[in-house]
Amino acid sequence: MALSQTTLRSILVEILSVDERYIVPKQGNWFTPIASLYVSDRPATWIAYRIQRTRPRTMPGFWNPTGLVEESFAVFVSELVLQIVGTDAEVIAMSTAHWLHREDVKAAFDAEDACLMASGSNYTVTDFYQDGDNNVLAYNVRMLVEWTGSLLPTVARTRLRTATITGATEISGDI
């Protein structure tokens, strides 16, 4: 398992009280729910998300949970960024400070072999530019998540195929 942009979205859909259409990746060329160009009625609140960075916390190791198949695993720490815009933005941003105590949040992250870390969580307020409309406030939440990623040994010990600058495919070293 791994914490990815897709699994993060699933977690956010599960724990936030926002229409799931309005939980979107935080990237410039993505659908912006606040833009009237894309929706006839603007949402009250929407949330952009991104896994900003991930770093390994442990060296990869092997374990044998079932006695049949050995898996490669490593522990990672990822920094998550949420940008919340709209009428409930401040309330949702402030509520993230309580996520460590919510059983539904713990369960949603646990399903992905992840857990929120008590340190490193904060939020800041910035302006959000709306292409000619009045700017609104955006609440930018940052939090750390520790998670375990694993691979079956057939994948973990396989050579990766990579593309070179010329576009040709070559075999790279073992992972």
Domain boundaries, the chain: 5-174
pTM of the entire structure?
0.74
CB 31 within 8 A of CB 38: yes
H-assigned helices in 4-160: 5-15, 89-95, 103-110, 153-156
Q: Which residues pair with 149 in a beta bridge?
A: 74
What tens digit of pLDDT does each residue of 125-160 get? 877 765 656 667 889 999 999 998 876 555 545 565
Instruction: Name the pLDDT band for 175 (thresholds 50, 70, 90).
Output: very low
